[in-house]
Chain A
Amino acid sequence: MTARRVGSAILLALVLLAAACSQDDGPADASDPVMLYTCVDDAVAQAMIEEFELANSGTDVELFRAPTAELNARVAGDVRSGGLRADVVWACDPITMQGLVDQDLVGGWTPDNAPEIPAEYRTADWVGAAVLYIVAVHRNDVPAPQTWSDLAGADYDGGLAIPDPAFAASALGALGYFAGAEGYGLDFYRGLVDHGAVQVSTPDEVTTGVAQGIYDAGLTTANSAYVAQESGSPIGVTWPEPGAVAVYGPVALATDAAGSTSAQDFISFVISEPGQTTLADAGSYPTRTGVSGPTVPVDAPVVQPDWPTIVTHKDDLLADYQQLFGS
């Protein structure tokens, strides 16, 4: 057999496999499965889909779940090869979602029950489904910070870790909040640098590093810290004053799926009371008032970043920050 024949046989096999496995990417209608793109935790996404399918028999939800960078790359690939293949996008931060709205890929619709979600978690294009809280994590043998500014004190000299806002949108939300907060500003970060703070890539790496004993304390997400603490890691979690920074994950309808009632039903379900209870049971913080989620200390203070300002000044914020911590 010649090399050309072998090549042809391989090519033919690939084409046949492609025919067998490729998907129909035509417009969605009520009978089509709903395609969900998300970066939320896998356990949350799976639980939500399961509950929705139970409540809406006959409607299937298919899932693509990946971290934000991969999710963005997938969307960018879709857009340049025939259009976004998702009917619903559930992002982990408003910055990502605003980028998709600006490209006219999602938005223009919110469900009827959207007003049941607090106003700070929704816009005309999306509605917040889950919240990440940026909190302080510390080793048990160092004092717990009472305020964020305590972290720039001698107790944490050379032992503080913060997540990189150029990698994690939640860290960018915190940077945006502190940059505009009275008494903080970028001087807060300058103080951290002066006390030897180091930057790691993600909040999860902060939690792991503090639990391992590499760092004394750091900024991380409440979910990550409580999961580690509840499984036995020797760490403490505090919600310092003026408050844990809330970063919400919005869910939106794809513009190409504007007519899909299944996709609309899914979004309505996610923010409904049963949906939010499912989300909370799976370990995520709900946006809906009255649904109790994972651990929140009594009277825990919470602050909201100014998302429109952060979206507008993202590059300047990062550039100023990188002057201090490097890129």
Chain B
Amino acid sequence: MVLVVLPVARLVEIVVREGAGTSKLILSSPEVRTAAVNSVGLSVAVMLLAVPLGTAMAVGLRHSDVPGRAFWRVAVLLPVVVPEFVLGYSWTQAYGRAGFTDALVGVHWQGVLGPGGVLAVLVASTAPVAYLLAAVGLAARAEPDLERAARASGASGTTVLRTVTLPLLRPSLAAASVLVFVLSLQSFAVPQVMGAPAGFTTLTTKIYADLSFASDPLSFVEAVALALVLVLLTAAVVAPADATLSPRLRVTRVAEPAGAPFSRRPSASRWVAAGLGSYLVVAVGLPLLALLSAALTRAVGLPPRPSNWTLDNFCLVIDQRSIEALGRSVGLAVLAASVLVVIGGCVALLEHRRFGRGVATMSILTLALPGSTLAVALLITYGRWLAGSLVLILVAYLAKLWALAHRPITGALDRLVPEELYAARASGATRLTAARTVALRPMAPALLGAWLVCFLTALHEVTMSSLLYGPGSETLAVIVLNSQELGRIGPTAALSVLLTLLMAVPALPLWVLSRRLRLRRPADTVPDPTRRENAQHARARG
């Protein structure tokens, strides 16, 4: 109610009260129709590419024998760390005219500034979300015993994947599809930077154009009306999916997951590493290299040779104000991610009831709203008491990112067996102990994944915090936005590089924590057949 219903209701009220008679005209204009078709078409295309890609990465990295697995698992998440508009710039710099590949081998991608480029960057930036959800799904839902049984019965690896692994992953994949679709629908910076030169408009770019002239109340109403179209589009896609698919996709856990996944030929793992490496070089490596080059080079357009290198861009962004803003951003992101995991868990628990499914669908509506419109909605609803405060920015994060926390958790929740909780209680455990020892353990990967994706997204959220901040509540977003203007790409790139490096700080304890959680699983104490079989392979080769 606080995070979704009231703010959206206030937007509806604005359109009804201030846009009476004009809303129909706005919505029936050919430009709006084109923008809506572009938005939906783009989001569907991104979903169809990013979800299989993320799932393939998660399945590929599931086996511990993939060379450099720890590195790959962090590397695939890198696009989430880089702010969206910087990712767009780095792709242009890597593959556009006069970019990296043009300078190195004389080849550039003409279509990088157009729908093709927008699609590619959005796939690269949302695939990690799909990967995270699929990986969480594999950690929480996989049935290695079933897979081994299928292999023992003569099924090929592909058949096992198709008939055992992927069906078990369906709830996680459904959650990933919904999130990727909505994240693409609400994406603004990439279509704006990369789509504009080809005349490719989406609803979000149209909304921003309207806000640019929103000192005229009619333009403001048009922006709000278009934002509500996004909400309706999301509701039209997600609500039927939630209502019909959610109950059917649940799979009851047949037993405690035991052991590692079935083994495969060592050469397969090497192929996985090679494939991942190639993808990451293209999707992340070269663009990030371009970003680093922009951060280190004195000016845009100069060749990135040592004589043009400087640390000035880094010095420019590391000052007292940036450090204070960073502190606030990290604090807000930690608080938001932690609260969101609690809220997401609560909603996931409610989902077994019809009312709960409605709440779950509702939670994704605010994710579809562009940050600028959601911020206005919150300002209108709570600004009287909270304007300019960190609390309002926190509420904005909670409203916007709720679905990002809830969907991964709900994708794993049906693996809980209520009888085990009753058994723990009957044996004298307190509610807290029962929850901690019985429920939290199988849910830990999902909770951790949800926390991580919320934390990363909140940390570099730009639009809402730059619109809602006040004296003493500047976040990193304000600094990013300031350096982005006046064509100063260097400082923005430096800030993004620092942000990427900064991710190592929370990533390290999280990695240690996830290892400890895995080690505490009794399943891991049973002999790992993969290792044994790999050893046999090795002996046979030797």
**CB < 8 Å: which of A72, A212, A224 contacts B220?**
A72
Give bound CA distance, A166 to B216, whole Å. 13
Interface bin, chain A = 35 or more
Give bound CA distance, A213 to B372, whole Å. 32
Bitwise, A1-43 to B at CB < 8 A (1) or not (0) is 1010011001000100110011101000000010000000110
List A31-65 residues whose CB lies under 8 Å from chain B.
33, 41-42, 62-65
From known contacts A21-B473, A82-B384, A227-B486, infer whether A95 and B215 are also in contact, taking CB-CB under 8 Å. Answer: yes
Closest to A16 in B: B391
Give bound CA distance, A17 to B387, whole Å. 13
Which of B264-272, B277-285, B294-302, B411-419 lies at the interface? B294-302
A167 touches B212 (CB 8 A): yes
Give bound CA distance, A203 to B431, whole Å. 60
Interface assignment of B14: CB less than 8 Å from any CB of chain A: yes
Interface assignment of A207: CB less than 8 Å from any CB of chain B: yes
A314 touches B213 (CB 8 A): yes
Closest to B206 in A: A327
The smallest C-beta distance from B395 to any residue of chain A, in angstroms, reads 7
**CB < 8 Å: which of B197, B220, B301 contacts A235?**
B301
Give bound CA distance, A82 to B381, whole Å. 10
Give bound CA distance, A232 to B302, whole Å. 7
Bitwise, A206-245 to B at CB < 8 A (1) or not (0) is 0110111110000000011001100111110000000000
Give bound CA distance, A227 to B300, whole Å. 11
Bitwise, B378-408 to A at CB < 8 A (1) or not (0) is 0111111111111100110000000000000
Residues on the B chain within 8 Å of A17, using CB: 389-391, 394
Give bound CA distance, A232 to B206, whole Å. 35
Residues on the A chain within 8 Å of B252, using CB: none
What's the tally of chain B residues with a CB closer than 8 Å to chain A? 79
From known contacts A21-B390, A73-B372, infer whether A227 and B466 are also in contact, taking CB-CB under 8 Å. Answer: no
**CB < 8 Å: which of B217, B482, B488, B489 contacts A103?**
B217
The smallest C-beta distance from A73 to any residue of chain B, in angstroms, reads 5
Give bound CA distance, A272 to B436, whole Å. 66
The smallest C-beta distance from B432 to any residue of chain A, in angstroms, reads 7
B487 touches A208 (CB 8 A): yes
A72 touches B302 (CB 8 A): no
Interface assignment of A67: CB less than 8 Å from any CB of chain B: yes
Interface assignment of B308: CB less than 8 Å from any CB of chain A: yes
A23 touches B220 (CB 8 A): no
Give bound CA distance, A233 to B298, whole Å. 8
Give bound CA distance, A168 to B384, whole Å. 30
A18 touches B380 (CB 8 A): no
Residues on the A chain within 8 Å of B346, using CB: 3, 6-7
Give bound CA distance, A70 to B349, whole Å. 37
Residues on the B chain within 8 Å of A205, using CB: 193, 196, 487
Interface assignment of B97: CB less than 8 Å from any CB of chain A: yes
Interface assignment of A149: CB less than 8 Å from any CB of chain B: no
Bitwise, B18-44 to A at CB < 8 A (1) or not (0) is 000000000000010011000000000
List B217-256 residues whose CB lies under 8 Å from chain A.
217, 220, 223
From known contacts A21-B390, A327-B206, infer whether A201 and B193 are also in contact, taking CB-CB under 8 Å. Answer: yes
A67 touches B383 (CB 8 A): no
Closest to A82 in B: B384
Give bound CA distance, A207 to B300, whole Å. 9
B215 touches A326 (CB 8 A): no
Bitwise, B78-99 to A at CB < 8 A (1) or not (0) is 0000000000010011001111
B196 touches A81 (CB 8 A): no
Closest to A17 in B: B391
B300 touches A204 (CB 8 A): no
Residues on the B chain within 8 Å of A10, using CB: 339, 342
From known contacts A81-B383, A199-B196, infer whether A232 and B299 are also in contact, taking CB-CB under 8 Å. Answer: yes
Give bound CA distance, A21 to B14, whole Å. 28
B211 touches A75 (CB 8 A): no
Residue among B215, B379, B388, B432 with the highest chain A CB neighbour number at 10 A: B215
Bitwise, A162-186 to B at CB < 8 A (1) or not (0) is 0010111100000000000000000
Residue among B99, B211, B487 with the highest chain A CB neighbour number at 10 A: B487
9 pairs across A/B with beta carbons < 8 Å? A23-B387, A70-B372, A70-B467, A198-B197, A211-B299, A228-B301, A233-B301, A314-B216, A322-B31
A18-B391, A64-B470, A199-B199 known, 19 other contacts, Cβ within 8 Å: A18-B386, A22-B387, A22-B389, A62-B470, A73-B220, A74-B376, A74-B379, A75-B214, A77-B375, A78-B387, A166-B213, A200-B196, A211-B301, A211-B487, A212-B93, A212-B301, A224-B486, A327-B31, A327-B34
4 residue pairs, one from A and one from B, having the closest CB atoms: A99-B215, A213-B98, A77-B379, A81-B383
